[in-house]
Amino acid sequence: MLKLSEIWVYPVKSLGGISLKEAHVTDRGLELDRRWLLVDDYGRFISQREHPELALFRPEILGDNLKITHKVLLESIDIPLRPVFGNDNAKTLVTVWDDSIDAFEVSPVITEWFTKLLGFSVRLVYMPEESHRKLDPKYAIFGNEITSFSDAYPFLIIGQSSLDDLNERLEVKVPINRFRPNFVFVNGVAFEEDFWRDFSIGSLSFVGVKPCDRCVMTTVDQEKGIIAGKDPLKTLAKYRNFGNKVLFGQNVIGLELGLVSVGDEIKILSHNKK
């Protein structure tokens, strides 16, 4: 029986993740997942691709706040989980890849804190409920699906067997956090998620829409905040290269709102064509 073994959210895109026992599935991904974003002076998102040190910022949920702590500098700041913006808060347009998205700057104090610790100018912004970032229509199911500040899709699922297969080929094993999934499952065979189409986690329905192509972020050591060589991307490229894209994990859309929990059974209802 396939089982959900891990649930992850990444409240601020490209910072550290939070492991959860259960999470609410919303219309744009897991609750809190990638609703905050660091942008540069031009409103463009920043990520570990160019700034691997972002991995050193660790989030945790404490009461009504998201607490961010720098692992090395040991400085922290609290961010309201449910920010309220009034008429005096101007909307700002930010970009994630080719998408332009309406957002709000969280606060000048928080912006100054991140700017000071990173050593270059950034702003922390939040995606409000009324901001709807649509999926690529080529992969949408109904045409109105939305996502958060994720790279492109609401969810990413990876099988533990897929990671085990990779680690058998590596000199130095890597943890699952190199790949930043939302869902991890056990008891499957390596890379079977590539071919999932319709499936359920617990009582909720999902659709696998596109294998995830990987980039240099997989080479960032999430504990040290540095690029730690060419692996696992180099090794993956030797046997997971399809159409000049290195694939690992499956991008997913949710069809229902509700709760998922570690231990939930996963049922496969249909497959994509191989």
Check residue 29 and give its pLDDT. 98
pLDDT in tens, 8-56: 999 999 999 999 999 999 999 999 999 999 999 999 999 999 999 999 9
Rounded CA separation 39/57 (Å): 15
**What integer pLDDT is reported at residue 86 of this predicted model?**
76
Q: What is the pLDDT of residues 66-108, one digit of tens each?
A: 999 999 999 999 999 999 887 767 789 999 999 999 999 999 9
Burial class (CB in 10 A: 0-12, 13-18, 19+), 271: middle
What is the third-level CATH fold of 2-268?
M1 Pyruvate Kinase; Domain 3 (2.40.33)
Residue 48's nearest CA partner among 221, 232, 233, 241 is 221
pTM of the entire predicted model? 0.97
- Give the integer Cα–Cα distance in Å for 60 and 37: 16
